[in-house]
Amino acid sequence: MSTRAFIQDLAGLGGQEVELRGWLAGRRTGGKLVFALVRDGTGVCQCVVEAKTAEAFAASEKAPLESSVIVRGVPRLDERAPGGVELSVAAFSVLQGAEDYPIARKEHGIDFLMNHRHLWLRSARQTAILKVRHTIISAARRFFDERGFILTDTPIFQPGAAEGAGSLFPVEYFGDRVYLAQTGQLYLEACAMALGRVYCFGPTFRAEKSKTRRHLTEFWMIEPEIAYAELPDLMELAEAFICRLVEAALAERREELKRLERDLAPLERIAPPFPRITYTEAAELLRGDAVHARLTEELERDRARLAADAERLAALERERAAEKKAWKQEKLDREIAALRDDLREREADLANRPAHIESARNFKWGDDLGGDEETILTRQFDRPVIVTRYPRECKAFYMKPAPDDPRVVLNMDVLAPEGYGEIIGGSQREDDLDALRARMAGEGMDPAPYEWYLDLRRYGSVPHGGFGLGIERTVAWICGLRHIRETIPFPRLMGRMYP
Ligand code: 4AD
Ligand code: MG
């Protein structure tokens, strides 16, 4: 009798016969041997089938890729095998034979892959990303749980806007118009007045009409909210929180990060204290000569690198044209496709850079910090930077103006390094009834759907605040992904609803 085993546990099971249940992920044949790569979600195992086990040999030799398979055999430690263990196969059966799996080991453009996202998820790269995502979410929950925060769930159907009317998704609700949540925050403030320290974690929705590599229309946000807290408390908490997420990813997902070819050195540098600058200082930095010189230099350097890589591509293409061996052709095709995608994106980025450099130089106090400005700012620091005190016009109605300068609010954005930009937005909240009403009136907001929110300022109001961290942007940064679309199993973007 063999016991069912998961590939991740095989190393401890040497000698006993086990049964693996998974999918055929790859195969090499060498004369009297078939090397079948079987994956089961926990890992990949090289299963060695000898010609003398005739039935198993025949089945493993002809099963199409991505067939579901059940394999019996004895694990053997072998340094040469991927994962360090291989299985000497006694029986190999195909549960369902997959004919013509659409994602072959050859070139596929991003559109093709996105249309086959339900299958693309099976690839080693995608499963690595999803595992890092899992660890980040799990560490985020543990972080707040250990500190005594209470998880409170906030509604997804909401009567009004919290983050600007421009990005609301309306929903028909029994004849009324309501909206999908842009944030749980307003409700979370009510929970904080009941429980002191709370957090929510759920899907949030923004009708972002921008097709950028940072924007989803549906994303997951984890938001703490704290009674009797002021801006410095929030900054300290955000700093400890981010450090914890990076630590967890490095400790628990090193393998996956390596598979993603993430350079670990910049992550290993993440430690408190994070630099803290005000919006006004950020604006001066952007306009300054030092940044200008550095950006121009980086642009030249990246242009030279692009040219060098374009030559490398041409060389690979020549090598491919001359190659006779099928497996080597496949390998080269993959390399060429990846490099081509990479070059295309870098070229587009480089084409935009001169305009960004110019707009940074002309940045005016009062402009919002957009993605491009954030990218430039974060390149000036080797760890996340906390930017505080933005002009009130740039920010949401609920933020509290600074007592010493009412033109700015007591807010913070945390920008991730290496050009990733904002991963956290938060603030101290306006806790004074009259001030909040005046601000809402100034924004032309109808107070009716917010009466309950104003009640929080009528009955035992206290200084309080919180922040929201976008899970997908954090995963993109920690995994070192250029685009946010790979950080969530089924991304919702402007112009993408399938699958
Ligand atoms: O800065 P935002 O809009 O802040 C809020 O929603 C506050 N109510 C949070 C709070 O104080 N409780 O969004 C917070 C974070 C951003 O920093 C970003 O990481 C993420 O949510 N985010 C998005 N992620 C992906 N796609 C989008 N369209 C996003 N919009 C915001
Ligand atoms: Mg924000």
Give the chain's count of helices (H) and strands (E): 15, 19
274 CB under 6 A from ligand 1?
A: no
Counting atoms of ligand 1 from 1, which one is nearest the CA of 225? 12
Structure tokens belonging to residue 78: 């072998």
265 and 405 share one domain = yes
333 band by pLDDT with thresholds 50, 70 and 90: confident
- pLDDT at 30 (0 to 100): 85
496, part of any domain: no
Whichever domain contains 127, its CATH number is: 3.30.930.10
294 and 265 share one domain = no
261 and 306 share one domain = no
> Three-state SS for 225?
strand
492, part of any domain: no
Ion ligand 2, residue ranges at CB < 5 A: 425
Cα(256) to ligand 1 centroid in Å equals: 26
Structure tokens belonging to residue 318: 């020549």
Cα(444) to ligand 1 centroid in Å equals: 23
Instruction: Report the percent of the chain where pLDDT is more than 70.
Output: 99
* Ligand 1 atom 13: residue of nearest CA: 425
CB neighbour burial string for 463-485, b if at least 16 within 10 angstroms, e if fewer: bbbbbbbbbbbbbbbbbbbeebb
Cα(437) to ligand 2 centroid in Å equals: 22
Chain segment 406-426, per-residue pLDDT in tens: 999 999 999 999 989 999 999
- Split into its structural domains, the chain has a count of 3
Helical pair 185-195 and 451-458, crossing angle rounded to 10 deg: 30
Quick check: 96 pLDDT over 80? yes
Quick check: 442 pLDDT over 80? yes
390, part of any domain: yes
218 CB under 6 A from ligand 1?
A: no
247 and 339 share one domain = no
Chain segment 20-62, per-residue pLDDT in tens: 999 999 999 988 999 999 999 999 999 999 999 999 999 999 9
347 and 477 share one domain = no
Tell me which of 107-121, 260-274, 432-446 is least confident.
107-121
Of the listed ligands, the closest to the CA of 185 is 1
CA distance 460 to 193: 8
Q: Are 223 and 468 in contact (CB under 8 A)?
A: yes
Quick check: 462 pLDDT over 90? yes
Tell me the one-letter amino acid at 62.
Answer: K
132, part of any domain: yes
Cα(56) to ligand 1 centroid in Å equals: 53
CA distance 365 to 348: 28
70 and 125 share one domain = no
73 CB under 6 A from ligand 1?
A: no
CA distance 128 to 118: 15
Tell me the one-letter amino acid at 13.
Answer: L
110, part of any domain: no
Tell me the one-letter amino acid at 492.
Answer: R
- pLDDT at 177 (0 to 100): 96
Q: DSSP 3-state helix, strand, coil percentages of the chain (rounded to 5)?
A: 45, 25, 30
268 and 339 share one domain = no
* Ligand 1 atom 31: residue of nearest CA: 470
Candidates 159, 207, 201, 160; CA nearest to 184 is: 201
For tokens 């600058």, what's the residue?
277
Quick check: 260 pLDDT over 80? yes
Cα(127) to ligand 1 centroid in Å equals: 25
> How many residues make up the chain in this entry?
499
467 CB under 6 A from ligand 1?
A: yes
- pLDDT at 178 (0 to 100): 96
424 CB under 6 A from ligand 1?
A: yes
CA distance 475 to 487: 6
221 CB under 6 A from ligand 1?
A: yes
136 and 248 share one domain = yes
CA distance 257 to 263: 8
219 and 243 share one domain = yes
Q: Are 266 and 417 in contact (CB under 8 A)?
A: yes
Quick check: 128 pLDDT over 90? yes
Q: What are the DSSP calls for 90-104, one per residue?
A: EEEEEEEPPPS-SS-
Candidates 165, 169, 187, 188; CA nearest to 177 is: 169
- pLDDT at 15 (0 to 100): 83
- pLDDT at 104 (0 to 100): 77
453 CB under 6 A from ligand 1?
A: no
Per-residue DSSP letter, 450: G
- pLDDT at 1 (0 to 100): 67
Counting atoms of ligand 1 from 1, which one is nearest the CA of 224? 12
Cα(324) to ligand 1 centroid in Å equals: 51
For tokens 């034979």, what's the residue?
97
Of 64, 96, 128, the one marking the end of a domain is: 96
- pLDDT at 105 (0 to 100): 64
Q: In what side-by-side order are the strands of the sheet with 218-227?
A: 150-151, 197-205, 218-227, 464-470, 421-428, 411-416, 385-388, 276-278
Cα(468) to ligand 1 centroid in Å equals: 6
